[in-house]
A = this chain, B = another copy of it.
Amino acid sequence: MNTNNSRRNFLKTTALATLAAVNIPEIVSAAYKPAKLKKIALSNEDIILFQGDSITDMHRKRSDNDANSPAALGTSYPFLASAEMLYRYPEKKLSCYNKGVSGNKVYQLAERWQTDCLDLKPTVLSILVGVNDFWHTLVNGYTGTIKTYRDDYKALLDRTKQALPDVKLIIGEPYAVIGVKAVDDKWYPTFNEYRQAAREIADNFGAAFIPYQEVYDKAQKSAPGAYWTADGVHPTLAGAQLMAEAWLQTVKG
């Protein structure tokens, strides 16, 4: 009986999750006209830097600072997207780096930005940040708001553009998969504001935008959310490839 109840609850949760998955993007696109899907043209000897939180970090070897080093790229979408680019464009002599750090919010990117971004002089800069800016308000008393996120993010990009005026920007949408472990109703509707802010900022700064929420929502038509993310936020290996494919959509040779 207990098992049946659990199963019923699971089905109910899944049904709600599916509804949410279908509806949330519609709400967003009604509220905000999205930026056109922009593509970044890769140039010879581009220096590609992946920045963000744990979703980007994913066990990268911090002591390894070599370009295109498998260990330094971690085990998530930066590794997979870099491998594919290096394979597709051997003549371009690309250099790929990952400097994501677990737990980071925007202000923590700012604290290490000189060393972990500007000094590397990236020509292509990919940033995915925002889930902790919201999540940590629920779990560890972080008091930043959507305004903090928006203001900090804009300041970070203004500073980046001043130092690297020609940098090609790629901004990922913060995403979450409702019904999987850490992500429940308490996230909504507030978390959607972070998604929308990232989209607006991408538009304002002429960045290519990766609609990760839509990517994860669509993926759930072929397998449950837990197939793509173990806790609602961090990708499984399947989810990492899903994200890499979406990331690669933003670049062309």
Contact = CB atoms under 8 A, between A and B. Distances in A.
A190 B219 CA distance: 49
Contacts of A244: 83
Nearest to A222: B90
Contacts of A70: 58-59, 75-76, 237, 240
B69 A222 contact: no
Instruction: Report how many copies the assembly holds.
Output: 2
Contacts of A138: none
Contacts of A227: 90
Interface in A55-99: 58-59, 68-71, 73, 75-76, 79-80, 82-84, 86-87, 90-91, 96
Of A59, A87, A90, chain B has the most CB atoms within 10 Å of the CB of: A87
Of A58, A80, A227, A245, chain B has the most CB atoms within 10 Å of the CB of: A80
B237 A83 contact: yes
Contact of A83 (B80, B82, B91, B223): B80
B71 A219 contact: no
A248 B161 CA distance: 41
Contacts of A59: 70-71
A231 to B, nearest CB: 15
A4 B83 CA distance: 34
A14 interface: no
Given A70-B58, A236-B68, A237-B70, A91 B242 contact: no
Contacts of A96: 237
A238 interface: yes
